[in-house]
């Protein structure tokens, strides 16, 4: 009996361990944008199976940012939960509000189809922000809920990010105008006086 228990325990220990948790993170590129310009931020999921379980079938989470520094412009979803333009592949809902953007996607694909589509890390969505005012805005996740291809909840760890908006001087530059050399002005004056004297002298003779 003890031998059977020992064999059972060894068998359990020899099974491959699953990833502790999926990850959510921001890829902000340089992380800098000028006032009046836009910046694209990728939302990346990681630590999934690489073309095998665990794959991702659904997600929902909030993205929080400083609405006085950044303005939400647009969002585009990736294609690894299905074609975002095909309603039979996936259901997508985007809910923007001041300082918070809620993203939701649910895939109708089979678990085998999702396993075949997804590497261990990929971009879920790309959010475009406009730089409104110079300063630094933190980016953070809230209420993250991820599900695997069988509908079970995935433990998730999140990493925050930030974007710096650089000040842009909108005052047009003043072009300095060089003053004419003093000698040039003197010569022009002398030429003018000489011309007037000759004209007056000619008029007097006539």
pLDDT tens per residue across span 183-197? 655 566 666 666 556
**Is it the case that residue 52 has pLDDT exceeding 80?**
yes
Encode pLDDT of 123-138 as tens digits: 999 999 999 999 999 9
pLDDT at residue 15 in the model: 43
Q: CA-CA-CA-CA torsion for 45, 50, 110, 90, nearest 10 degrees?
A: 30
Domain boundaries, the chain: 22-166
Q: Which CATH number fits domain 22-166: 3.30.70.360, 3.40.718.10, 2.60.40.680, 2.40.50.100?
A: 2.60.40.680
Q: Which of 30-44, 47-61, 165-179 has the lowest mean pLDDT?
A: 165-179
User: What is the pTM (predicted TM-score) of this model?
Assistant: 0.75
């Amino acid at each position: 009996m003890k031998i059977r228990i020992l064999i059972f325990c060894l068998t359990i220990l020899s099974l491959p361990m699953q990833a502790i948790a999926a990850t959510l993170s921001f890829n902000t590129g340089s992380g800098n944008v000028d006032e009046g310009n836009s910046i694209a931020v990728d939302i990346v999921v990681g630590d999934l199976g690489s073309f095998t379980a665990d794959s991702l079938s659904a997600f929902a989470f909030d993205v929080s940012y400083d609405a006085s520094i950044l303005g939400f412009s647009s969002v585009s979803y990736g294609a690894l939960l299905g074609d975002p333009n095909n309603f039979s592949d996936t259901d997508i809902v985007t809910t923007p509000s001041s300082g918070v953007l809620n993203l939701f996607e649910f895939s109708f694909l089979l678990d085998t189809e999702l396993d075949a589509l997804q590497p261990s890390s990929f971009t879920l969505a790309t959010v475009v922000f406009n730089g409104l005012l110079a300063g630094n805005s933190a980016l953070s996740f809230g209420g993250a809920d991820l599900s695997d291809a069988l509908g079970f909840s995935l433990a998730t760890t999140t990493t925050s990010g930030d974007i710096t908006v650089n000040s842009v001087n909108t005052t047009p530059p003043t072009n300095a105008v060089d003053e004419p050399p003093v000698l040039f002005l003197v010569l022009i004056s002398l030429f003018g006086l000489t011309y007037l004297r000759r004209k007056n002298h000619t008029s007097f003779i006539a």
